[in-house]
Structure 1
Amino acid sequence: MTAGRYRVTVSTDGQPLLQGWWDDETVGRRKFASWVGEHGSRPGARVTLVDEETGGVLTEWPDAR
């Protein structure tokens, strides 16, 4: 069994709390939005969606800018 291409991670204070992998980017983006809603109020929370094939961060919350 292999992990999917798109990984969503919820971390708090830099430590991973929850991770999931999906083969479909649309599903990964939906899960990203869902986890922001579910876990975004935790102190120090950060949620990221990464394309494991390219290593690129597709989106993150809160925005790193």
Structure 2
Amino acid sequence: MDILKLDYVLASLVYSLLGVAVFWVAFIIIDKITPYDLWKNLVEERNQALATVVAAMCLGIAIIVASAIH
């Protein structure tokens, strides 16, 4: 039962929420600095090449956030 201590669960939840918040802020900043609307190009125009680049960017940010929290 040492694994399921309340402080470990609470710390995991706090770090998870913090990581998601940092990831979301980073995505919004990147969306603002690009010369076009990422969401419109991804959803409405279905730009597959842009979707691949955004996916790679998301993975990169996620790895950086996970490493920083770890």
The structure richer in strand per residue is: 1
**Which structure has more RCO (C-alpha within 8 Å, separation ≥ 6)?**
2
- TM-score scaled by structure 1? 0.30
Larger Rg: 2
